[in-house]
Amino acid sequence: MVQSPVSPQPLARRLLAVAGGLLTAAALLTAAPTAQAAAPGAGGGVTHPDQDWMGSTVAAHEGRSASDAPVTLTPNVTQTPGFDVSHWQGSISWATQYGKGARFVYIKATESTDYRDPNFNANYTGSYNAGFIRGAYHFATPNTSTAAAQADYFVAHGGGWSKDGKTLPPMLDIEYNPYGATCYGKSQADMRTWVTNFLNEVHTKTGRWATIYTTTDWWTTCTGNTAAYSTKDPLFIARYNSTVGTLPAGWGFYTFWQFADSGTFPGDQDRFNGPLSGLKDLANNV
């Protein structure tokens, strides 16, 4: 599939994110020396959750294929197109996107324990009514609260699941820290514990093992490339290239692939690694 040229939207999003970071840095220089202001990357709070979305940190750390050139995919199996969004995309014509061929979408629901995406309800309901198989994701900030607290907040504010054939597993978006230290100030062992606790709590609340969204580089750096979750949790890999590259340990295949941060559909461009029937099976927990 040949993607249309990259639109200015990702650049605008990145410039806003950079500007937000500069404003935050300026505020920290002039603010009183509180614990939160002193260490936003390791133990502080969330200051710009509206600028954090699925993959918002990836390009800055890992780049893109051929300097933002359109990406040509050459999958060797049938794949199903989709995308992921947050409030950044504004109002979406879901029927239009369905008509273009997209069949699934992941939608930002929450971050930390006090932020709910303002467009979540409209996106979640609108996509469902247009025929999409859709799911919700949580942008993880492991330094701000316990995994169980974030999982509970996520499930209570959109991250649930029902066996209706239209709802994908809840998803944990765990990637580079947009506030500072790459691994949120945690050791690899502590990060594995946090991830385990989040996944277990979501499973307890919903009966589903969550999808994990990450990159191979982040996963290797921050979890020690653990294979502990590969038998139960579907992998949503992020890599902006024409090939998916090396996967994190244990996963012999990816379930979803975020291959570009702009293209045919709003937001990031994704693929389910199989036909529509397989996507429906995943939604039904078959």
Contact 39, 185 (CB under 8 A): yes
Q: Please confirm, yes or no, whether 173 is among the known catalytic residues.
A: yes
User: What is the CB neighbour count within 10 angstroms for residue 164?
Assistant: 10
* Residue 171 dihedral angles phi and psi, to the nearest 5°: -125, 135
Q: Please confirm, yes or no, whether 261 is among the known catalytic residues.
A: no
User: What tokens does 31 get?
Assistant: 């603010």
Of 210, 199, 201, 181, nearest to 285 (Cα)?
Answer: 210
From the candidates 111, 117, 175, 233, give the one annotated as an active-site residue: 175
The radius of gyration computed from the CA coordinates of the chain, to the nearest angstrom, equals 18
* DSSP codes, 269-286: EEEESS-HHHHHHHHTT-
Provide the 8-state DSSP code for 207.
S
From the candidates 52, 111, 117, 173, give the one annotated as an active-site residue: 173
The shares of helix, strand and coil residues in the chain, as percent rounded to the nearest 5, are 35, 15, 50
Q: How many CA atoms lie within 13 A of 198 on its CB side?
A: 32
From the candidates 62, 84, 201, 261, give the one annotated as an active-site residue: 84
Q: 110 to each of 31, 137, 242, 283, how far by Cα in Å? A: 27, 7, 30, 20
Q: Please confirm, yes or no, whether 152 is among the known catalytic residues.
A: no
User: Which residues are catalytically annotated?
Assistant: 84, 173, 175
